[in-house]
Copies of this chain bind each other. A is one copy, B any other.
């Protein structure tokens, strides 16, 4: 059982077939200058001998790996893990590996991770920015060296790269419109860092909806969080609901904070949605579990991952592509109990 059989290399195949290693190398990847029957013979013998290509050697020669790096904030969040799931599926289909690194939403970590990934000679990069990040020079190393970079969800306009996003403005507009249609008069907003366009655009959509309905924009009803976790959501809701003139609806930029809003309301006897309507964002699993169920905006997370991976792979195929496109995916307003005031 314990047999350390030496690995079969293209040299073994070559000498057995009395051809040169280069021929074997080319035959294995259907190079045009190799004869049809030679290709067959090489592949047949390779199969018989159990040859397995050494990607390391190839990577060394090409100075580039078939590994895709993924930079995200936290793996253990519903949206992110679904995103990665999509990336991994697509990448593994194409024979690529996926290596993960989390910034924990800290700018310095993001920089360190970028360096580490670059040193690992990744062949492509998929990024969802840290909450803190405001400068983007740590990505120029990749671009200068023709390593494709694709941003997902938390993107930036300051870099000329592919992006895979949703229309956050439209989604924010849609969500807020829905609240207005349900008869809400004072709608508060729990937003995220305005340096992250996703949050900024959701907020802009929210503001636009108010404007279109000639509703007053009350700055005291807008709070932007740093991390948008449960604690922050709870505190913000408490702040809103203890105002002299509290809101009758909250549009939160993520489900985590929205769920906290519901919990605050429940703890304080505020009826949902009659006294307070709550709208979330992301369609996390919890949105279906919380009682009342949470209205939210659905994100095609897995698809975003798949598409991002496809973009990276496309750039690897055709090195000549210089155009950088922005792919915008559809969102869906999911109306549940937390905002449904009018029965239909």
Contacts and interface: CB of A to CB of B under 8 A. Distances in A.
Contacts of A329: none
A289 interface: yes
Q: Which of A7, A57, A97 has the most CB of B within 10 A?
A: A97
A37 to B, nearest CB: 27
Given A1-B144, A120-B55, A78 B75 contact: no
Nearest to A101: B92
Interface in A65-110: 65, 67, 74-78, 80-82, 84-85, 88-89, 92, 95, 97-102
A102 B75 contact: no
A60 interface: yes
A4 B144 contact: yes
A53 B3 CA distance: 33
A240 to B, nearest CB: 20
8 contacts: A4-B145, A56-B59, A67-B99, A75-B82, A75-B84, A75-B88, A77-B81, A98-B99
Interface of A: 1-4, 7, 52-57, 59-60, 63, 65, 67, 74-78, 80-82, 84-85, 88-89, 92, 95, 97-102, 113, 116, 119-121, 140, 144-145, 259, 263, 266, 285-286, 289-291, 302
